[in-house]
Amino acid sequence: MTDSNTMAAGADPRFSGLPGRPGKIVAIHLSYASRADQRGRRPEHPSYFFKPASSVAATGGTIERPAGTELLAFEGEVALVIGTAARRVPLAEAWNHVGWVTAANDFGLYDLRANDKGSNVRSKGGDGFTPVGAELLDARAVDPAALRLRTWVNGELRQDDTTAEMLFPLAQLVADLSQHFTLEPGDVVLTGTPAGSSVVVPGDVVEVEVDAPGAPGAPSSGRLVTTVTQGEHGFDGALGSLPSVDDRQRAEAWGSRAAAGLDPEPEPFRLTPALRDKLAEAPVAGLSAQLRKRGLNNVTVDGVRPMHPAAKVVGTARTLRFVPNREDLFASHGGGYNAQKRVFDAVGEGEVVVIEARGEDGSGTLGDILALRARTRGAAGIVTDGGVRDYDAVAAVGLPVYTKGAHPAVLGRRHVPWEADVAVACGGTTVQPGDVVVGDRDGVVVIPPALVEEVVDAALAQEAEDAWIAEQVVAGEPVDGLFPMNAEWRARYEAWRADR
């Protein structure tokens, strides 16, 4: 392998931390467990984006925060420099194609993320947005699972993690990318950032170091130093979209809502045991009546019947949407770990799987295996405005299920499993994730979380009143003036309640 200093001699000073100008720079979105947990999602597989070679900068340089922007964030990373070409290399051989390891800073401008839609072309492709260096470490001399990454801002340690904590080993990234295109000598793979990334402002000095504390001589990249400056130039709205930020971008750029100076997110609605017990006692007809009094008429899931009429379902919605079958879309979305399987694997205790099948009952929308999975996960029930396959076997699982009926055909005859955890249309009503779903023999009703306590209390109060009225009718009283109660009967009822 050629000495890196010899290769870099006479090169553009921007690339002094590399063997030369890289042909391509490939970066990963999420790779460290700490960062993934901070973002609230752990990807099943790595995903990537490209950065231009013109974004590379050497240690000791500056990065401009463009005029009119506020959310320039640092991301200390381990950079891999390809030493020999890699094309369709197996995992066991992938590390042999890495020539060097060094430090990098994958700066990003969150003000431009909204219209990049994951490509990061503008938000991470600016000149100077990829400092790399200072020194190259021989990949043969280090253990790829034992590298340490640290980042300082103005001398304060902000990131401190190791490659042992990565979701995807470094060699896997090389092997995976080589499935799709040739990694050529000098190409750079940016391997992601751990938790601790945050916003920097003009005047801040960011330093990144990669070392191998357990290797002989504890080799280190040295400190990669970048100073943030204020740029004079902004962006022309006549040429393209302008920077824009919202609280979500601020929270992600700073690392948390608290760090961004934002109020905490409101706690998500949860059904308490007491509230769940009330809903189990209240009839769906009564809940529907109370919702109607509050102006909500389109909250019943029409056309579905319970497979277990004596069972009641109470829970919060976990949604799944099917679209009409189209062969090419089923080929891309119907197989493997599709949206349907993901929902049944993720449904939580006390949740109800609500499926949008467009009222199409010409195929099954689930069978006994998925019903078993839902029961094992502690789901409260399933509501689908389509058919059920393996009807008797699903019934034997014992989980409350509401459906249009039985059908022997598999899902793909009519449906493509498309997406999960979105607003769906089930039986003519809109159901959002987290809505409260209650079903009995009369049918299924959907209650907005903000109204659930008020509605169930009113429904139970009405039930008590109706029960008293029924007693009077049994005793021989006529319904005129009693149902609904006039002032005289109301006074008698209130007196009865007071005595109790």
| Nearest CA-CA partner of 102 in 1, 15, 204 | 15
Distance between CA atoms of 266 and 444, rounded to whole angstroms? 28
Asked if residue 405 lies in contact with residue 388, where contact means CB atoms within 8 angstroms, the answer is: yes
Token output for 38: 């901070």
**CB-count exposure of residue 367 (10 Å: 0-12, 13-18, 19+):** middle
Asked if residue 25 lies in contact with residue 183, where contact means CB atoms within 8 angstroms, the answer is: no
Alpha-helix runs per DSSP H in 179-306:
247-254, 273-281, 284-293
Token output for 116: 């990049």
For 129-188, the DSSP string reads -EEEEEEEEEGGGS-TTS-EEEEEETTEEEEEEEGGGBSS-HHHHHHHHHTTSPBPTT-E
Cβ count within 10 A of residue 239: 7
Binding residue ranges for substrate: 367-370, 389
CA 496 → CA 261, 453, 464, 469, 490, distances in Å?
55, 25, 12, 12, 10
Binding residue ranges: 367-370, 389-390
| Nearest CA-CA partner of 409 in 296, 325, 488, 497 | 325
Binding residue ranges for Mg(2+): 390
Distance between CA atoms of 500 and 385, rounded to whole angstroms? 44
Asked if residue 43 lies in contact with residue 24, where contact means CB atoms within 8 angstroms, the answer is: no
CA 146 → CA 72, 139, 212, distances in Å?
30, 12, 6
Asked if residue 103 lies in contact with residue 64, where contact means CB atoms within 8 angstroms, the answer is: no
Distance between CA atoms of 209 and 334, rounded to whole angstroms? 45
